Amino acid sequence: MSFDADLTACAALVEKADPDRFLAAMAAPVSARRVLFPLYALNVEVARAPWVTQEAMIAEMRLQWWRDALEEIAGGKPARRHQVVTPLAAILSPELAVYLDQYVSVRRWDIYKDPFEDAAHLASYLEHSAGALMVAAAQSLGPADTDVLRDYGYATGVANWLRAMPELEARGRIPLLDGTAEGVRMLAENGLTRLVRARRGRAAVSAAARPALLAGWQTEAILKQAVAAPGLVASGALGQSEFRKRASLMWQAVSGRW
pLDDT of residue 164 exceeding 80, the answer is: yes
Helices (H) and strands (E) in the chain, counts: 13, 0
Q: What is the mean pLDDT of residues 1-13?
A: 90
| pLDDT above 90 as % of the chain | 97
> Going by C-beta distance under 8 Å and a sequence separation of 6 or more, which residues neighbour residue 88?
38, 39, 41, 42, 69, 73, 79
The end-to-end CA distance of the chain, in Å, is 26
pLDDT of residue 56 exceeding 90, the answer is: yes
Choice among 2-11, 15-24, 40-49, 193-202 with the minimum mean pLDDT = 2-11
pLDDT of residue 216 exceeding 60, the answer is: yes
Helix (H) or strand (E) holding 145: none
pLDDT of residue 147 exceeding 70, the answer is: yes
As a whole number of angstroms, the distance between CA 141 and CA 212 comes to 8
User: Angle CA(64)–CA(14)–CA(2) in degrees, nearest 5?
Assistant: 110
Reported pTM: 0.96
CATH architecture designation of domain 114-258: Orthogonal Bundle (1.10)
| pLDDT above 70 as % of the chain | 99
As a whole number of angstroms, the distance between CA 124 and CA 107 comes to 11
> Going by C-beta distance under 8 Å and a sequence separation of 6 or more, which residues neighbour residue 18?
40, 43, 44
Collapsed DSSP state (helix, strand, coil) of residue 205: strand
pLDDT of residue 230 exceeding 60, the answer is: yes
Residues of the chain with CATH 1.10.600.10: 114-258
As a whole number of angstroms, the distance between CA 2 and CA 59 comes to 35
pLDDT of residue 247 exceeding 90, the answer is: yes
pLDDT of residue 87 exceeding 80, the answer is: yes
Residue 77, pLDDT score: 86
Helix (H) or strand (E) holding 243: helix 242-255
**Helix H segments across 127-241?**
132-141, 146-170, 181-200, 219-228, 231-235
User: Which has the closest alpha carbon to 134: 154, 116, 164?
Assistant: 154
**Helix H segments across 49-118?**
56-74, 85-91, 94-105
Q: Up-side HSE of residue 244: CA atoms within 13 Å toward CB?
A: 6
Residue 140, pLDDT score: 98
As a whole number of angstroms, the distance between CA 95 and CA 74 comes to 7
Burial class (CB in 10 A: 0-12, 13-18, 19+), 85: buried
Q: Place 184 in a pLDDT band, splitting at 50, 70 and 90.
A: very high
Q: Place 65 in a pLDDT band, splitting at 50, 70 and 90.
A: very high
pLDDT of residue 83 exceeding 60, the answer is: yes
Residue-wise pLDDT for 124-137, tens only, equals 999 999 999 999 99
Residue-wise pLDDT for 109-127, tens only, equals 999 999 999 999 999 999 9
Q: Place 2 in a pLDDT band, splitting at 50, 70 and 90.
A: low
DSSP state of 144: B
Residue 3, pLDDT score: 86
Q: What is the mean pLDDT of residues 197-211?
A: 98
Q: What is the mean pLDDT of residues 152-170?
A: 97
Residue-wise pLDDT for 166-176, tens only, equals 999 999 999 99
Q: What is the mean pLDDT of residues 71-97?
A: 95
